[in-house]
Amino acid sequence: MILASILNSDLANLSKVADTVAASGADALHFDVMDGRFVDNISFGLPVLSSLRPYTKQPIDVHLMISEPLRFAERFIKAGADMLSFHIESDSDPQEMLRCIHGCGIPAGIVVSPDTDVDAVLPCLPLMQKDDFILIMTVYPGLGGQKFMPEMLHKIRRLSDIIRRGSLPLHIEVDGGINAETGMLCRQAGADYLVAGSYVLCSDDPAEAVRSLNKPLR
C-alpha cells in the first residue's frame, strides 16, 4: 500500500492535492500532525483534517507527532482519521492509546523514531489487532524531504521476523525519504506500507512515481 504524505504539498490547495493523490494511484493520504513540542515544527491539526475530509474518499492515515496523543486521539478520529498512529516515545501510555483507538473502531499504529530500539514496541504486540501497524521512521520526524536512513532497515527485518514467527496480523509502515530505490529496500526488508511525500507530490508525474513504488519485488 502506498500512502501519499501531503506535508510537502501545496497546502493552500488541499482539495486539489487530494485529487492529485487519488489520480496518482496512491492508496491513501498520510496526514502529519506536529505540535512544536514533540518535534521542532508545527504542521496542521484538527480543523484542517475536518476541512479536508469531505474532499476525498480515500483513507486518511493520521501520524501524530505530538507529546500527548491520548488527549487528542478521539478528536482526530472524529475529524476523519481512518488509521491513527502515535509515537512510542510520546508521554501517553501506549496501552491506553491502543485501547482508545480500538474503542473508536479503527486500526492503530505505533511509531518508532530513529533513536529508539524497535524492541520498545514488543510489550505492545500482544495488544495489537488485525490491520494495526508499526511505523518505522526512516528519517527524524519533523520535516518532509529528508534523506532516507539505511541504518533503519535492520529494524524492519527484525520486526518482520517477529511478525512472521508469531503469525501476527500486523503491517510494517515506513516513513521518510521513500522513493523507488529506498522503497524497494524497505519492501525487501519486510515493509508493506510505504509513506512517500515529496517523491510523489513534488514530482511532475505523481502517477509514475506511485507506479515506481509498486514495482514487483526484486
Q: Which residues contribute to the site for ligand DX5 (CB under 6 A)?
A: 5, 7-8, 30, 32, 63, 139, 141-146, 175-178, 195-199
Of 10, 19, 32, 204, catalytic? 32
60: how many CB neighbours lie within 10 A of its CB? Answer: 22
Query: Can you tell me which residue has the cell 481512518?
Result: 82
Residue number with the shortest CB distance to Zn ion?
63
Residue type, 37: R
Q: Which is nearer to Zn ion, 27 or 175 (CB)?
A: 175
> Is-catalytic flag, 175?
yes
Choosing among Zn ion, ligand DX5, none, which partner's interface includes residue 210 (Cβ < 5 to 8 Å by kind)?
Answer: none
Q: How does DSSP assign 57-87, residue by residue?
A: -S-EEEEEE-S-HHHHHHHHHHHT-SEEEEE
175: how many CB neighbours lie within 10 A of its CB? Answer: 28
Choosing among ligand DX5, Zn ion, none, which partner's interface includes residue 92 (Cβ < 5 to 8 Å by kind)?
Answer: none
Helix (H, G, I), strand (E, B) or coil at 49: helix
> Is-catalytic flag, 117?
no
Of 175, 192, 204, 205, catalytic? 175
- Contact at 8 Å (CB) between 128 and 99? no
CA pair distance 191, 136, nearest whole angstrom:
9
Shortest reach from residue 172's CB to ligand DX5, in Å:
15
Choosing among ligand DX5, Zn ion, none, which partner's interface includes residue 94 (Cβ < 5 to 8 Å by kind)?
Answer: none
CA pair distance 211, 115, nearest whole angstrom:
31
β pairing state of 2-5 and 108-112: unpaired
Shortest reach from residue 160's CB to Zn ion, in Å:
20
Choosing among Zn ion, ligand DX5, none, which partner's interface includes residue 142 (Cβ < 5 to 8 Å by kind)?
Answer: ligand DX5
- What are the residues facing 173 on neighbouring strands? 135, 193
Binding site residues, Zn ion, CB under 5 A? 32, 63, 175
Q: Which is nearer to ligand DX5, 68 or 168 (CB)?
A: 68
Shortest reach from residue 199's CB to ligand DX5, in Å:
6
Shortest reach from residue 164's CB to ligand DX5, in Å:
26
- Contact at 8 Å (CB) between 69 and 92? yes
Shortest reach from residue 163's CB to Zn ion, in Å:
21
Choosing among ligand DX5, Zn ion, none, which partner's interface includes residue 8 (Cβ < 5 to 8 Å by kind)?
Answer: ligand DX5
Tell me 203's DSSP state: S
Point out the residues that are catalytic. Answer: 32, 175
